[in-house]
Amino acid sequence: MSRVFCLQAKIYLKSIDESEVAALTSAVSTSMPSPSARDKDTGATNTSNDDAGGIKSPTMAKPGGLSVGGGVGIGIKSPAMKNAAEENIVRRRRTQQESIASEISFARLILDVGESVSAAAKALNPRPAGDPARAPGSTPGSTTTRSKAKGKGKGKGKGGKGGADDDGVVSEAEYQAAMTPFTYDSHENLSDGHAYAKEAAAVRLFFYFRTGNLTDVTCVFFHSQDLRNGPHISRVAKEIAGLAGGALPLNRSSSVFVRIDDAKSVVWSIMITGPEDTPYDGGCFIFGESICFILVWEIGLTLCFSLHQLQMRFSQAGTLRTLRRSSSRRPAAADGAPTLTCTRTARCAYRCWARGRVGKARRGIRRCRRCCRLSYRSNL
Amino acid sequence: MLQVIVSVQSLILCPQPYFNEPGYERLIGTPNGKNQSDQYDASIIDNTLRWAMIEQLRKPHPAFKDAIKAHFKLRKSHLLTVVKKRWTEGATGERKARVDGLFKELTTELNKL
């Protein structure tokens, strides 16, 4: 279990750049965030605000410069308002930074504890050289309990295969003990050559759209390549915790191995060894290049929804109005065009507003395009 | 996700995958179905040997390298006795030669471990 926590902490820490971390911590320690930290953190939005403020005050002071008193009045007023607004922003940002900093320190603490635990485990029982001590949590005790539990669960399916245990074949418990360290791991650069690498890169983009935050959308194109943090991470972390918690099937007959990309935790590779008594017996089948299916499905829906939203936004603003689809289901009759009604079934009341839209007339029945398509399908 | 993995393992990698194909479920239990299923299994066995075993031993996926090696080390005797016997049992003629050749390649690869 400690291994899971360690990995999650590692993922979290990776998601935040070192420079950013340093900036954040310094910002939290001082009462006011240092300007460099703030600039780095807020990115495009805040700098644009500052720019606007910087441009505004001279332009406002210029006309005021003609009459001395008025100029001073405006000059004092606008920075005061700006200061109040800025203070608000700063306060909000500071609470955010504090929470992030506490999370970072917690993650580091977990990592430290994990390292010390693994070191202690190594000192207590040194593993054989061929067996890499990757898992600090999986001591021999835990593996034996695990194999017992598995034996109970799968005892039914193995009734007929008991005969294979003699003539030098490795026993069930031995196999499990040897393979436990390999079941689940993270791997560097798994997404290189991964079939779904592009989709993975785009995941972040979709989440930005879903939030509907247009200020974020401006930054999307700079960040779309990295997948290291985002709202999906908690969901993925749950999945990972489920897998690494010992839920993966591990049997001599057939077992499952999972590798997750170090930087992009949505990119998974899965290997399943072929079960006994099947034509796949003993083979290593890598469903490698497959992303988290469930996530992809969810994200697909998200994309449709958010693109529609975006389009509405634009059309409201008066640009890109042509993008909006006219509802083609029951179009109103255009003037001059003959209105024809589909007579295929009583229920279909599809009124076509142009001759071109009417489908083939067969057996004296005038069908609309939709009915034609439907009947074609049903004839198949 | 775990459920997806487990269902792939138990439902797709099954003893008689021929009957998973759409439209062939009704052939279960008939001699014709048995015949067809055996042919289908034979092609799967060939491909399993070639791609899932020999090729994985020669060029293992970088992420699963250690897992693959450990797996084959542990399953070596099972593969070369039980599985070999079962898979070469009914083979005749050209197919027998092909499967034997594949097993010969597999043996050399396994001995390298």
Tokens standing for residue A22: 């340093």
- Note the pTM of the prediction, 2 decimals: 0.46
**Inter-chain residue contact A279 with B48, CB threshold 8 Å:** yes
For residue A190, the chain B residues in CB contact (below 8 A) are 63
- In whole angstroms, give the CA distance from residue A280 to residue A273: 8
First-to-last C-alpha distance (Å) of chain B: 33
Single-letter code of the amino acid located at B34: K
CA distance B69 to chain A (A): 10
Crossing angle of helices A140-154 and A172-179, in 10° steps, is 130
Residues in Cβ contact with B1 at an 8 Å cutoff, skipping those fewer than 6 apart = A239, A242, A243, A268, A292, A293, A294
**Inter-chain residue contact A292 with B6, CB threshold 8 Å:** no
- Report the pLDDT value the prediction gives residue A128, as an integer from 0 to 100: 41
Q: Could you tell me how far CA A106 lies from the centroid of its own chain?
A: 23
**Inter-chain residue contact A179 with B71, CB threshold 8 Å:** yes
CB-side neighbour CA atoms (13 Å) of A379: 6
Q: How confident is the model at residue B60 (pLDDT cuts 50, 70, 90)?
A: confident
Q: Would you write out chain A's pLDDT as a tens digit for each of its 380 residues?
A: 444 455 555 555 555 544 454 554 444 444 443 344 334 443 333 333 333 333 333 333 333 333 333 334 344 445 566 677 778 778 877 777 776 666 666 666 666 656 665 555 555 554 443 333 333 333 333 333 333 333 333 333 333 333 344 455 678 888 888 888 888 887 777 666 665 666 655 555 555 444 444 344 433 433 443 444 555 566 677 777 877 777 788 888 888 888 887 766 667 778 888 888 888 888 888 775 544 443 444 444 434 343 444 434 333 333 333 333 333 444 444 444 444 555 554 445 454 433 344 444 444 445 555 555 554 444 43
CB-side neighbour CA atoms (13 Å) of B72: 25
Interface of A with B in 258-277 (CB under 8 A): 258-259, 268-275, 277
Taking CA–CA distances from B47, the nearest residue in chain A reads: A280
For residue B87, the chain A residues in CB contact (below 8 A) are 279, 281
CA distance B44 to chain A (A): 6
Radius of gyration of chain B from its Cα atoms, rounded to whole angstroms: 16
- In whole angstroms, give the CA distance from residue B14 to residue B6: 12
**Hey, is A250 helix, strand or coil?**
strand
Taking a C-beta distance cutoff of 8 angstroms, is the pair A233, A292 a contact?
no
Cα–Cα nearest to A357, from A344, A375, A376, A339: A339
**What's the CA angle centered on B110, arms A277 and A131, to 5 degrees?**
95
What number of residues does chain A have?
A: 380
> According to DSSP H, which parts of A125-231 are helical?
140-154, 172-179, 197-211, 214-223
Distances (CA, A) of A123 to A119, A200, A202: 6, 40, 44
Q: Which residue(s) pair with A250 in the sheet? A: A255
Q: Among residues of chain B, what percentage have pLDDT more than 70?
A: 100
Cα–Cα nearest to B52, from A163, A193, A254, A174: A254
Exposure pattern of B90-108 as b/e (b: 16+ CB <10 Å)?
eeeeebeeebeebbebbee
Task: Give φ, ψ of A343 to 5 degrees.
Answer: -115, 15
Contact of B66 with chain A, judged by CB distance below 8 Å, is answered with yes
- In whole angstroms, give the CA distance from residue B30 to residue B95: 24
- In whole angstroms, give the CA distance from residue B94 to residue A120: 59
- In whole angstroms, give the CA distance from residue A361 to residue A344: 10
ipTM: 0.88
- Report the pLDDT value the prediction gives residue A303, as an integer from 0 to 100: 41
- Report the pLDDT value the prediction gives residue A36, as an integer from 0 to 100: 41
Taking CA–CA distances from B41, the nearest residue in chain A reads: A279
Distances (CA, A) of A73 to A70, A86, A87, A134, A232: 5, 20, 21, 69, 50
- In whole angstroms, give the CA distance from residue A245 to residue B18: 35
Give chain B's mean pLDDT.
85
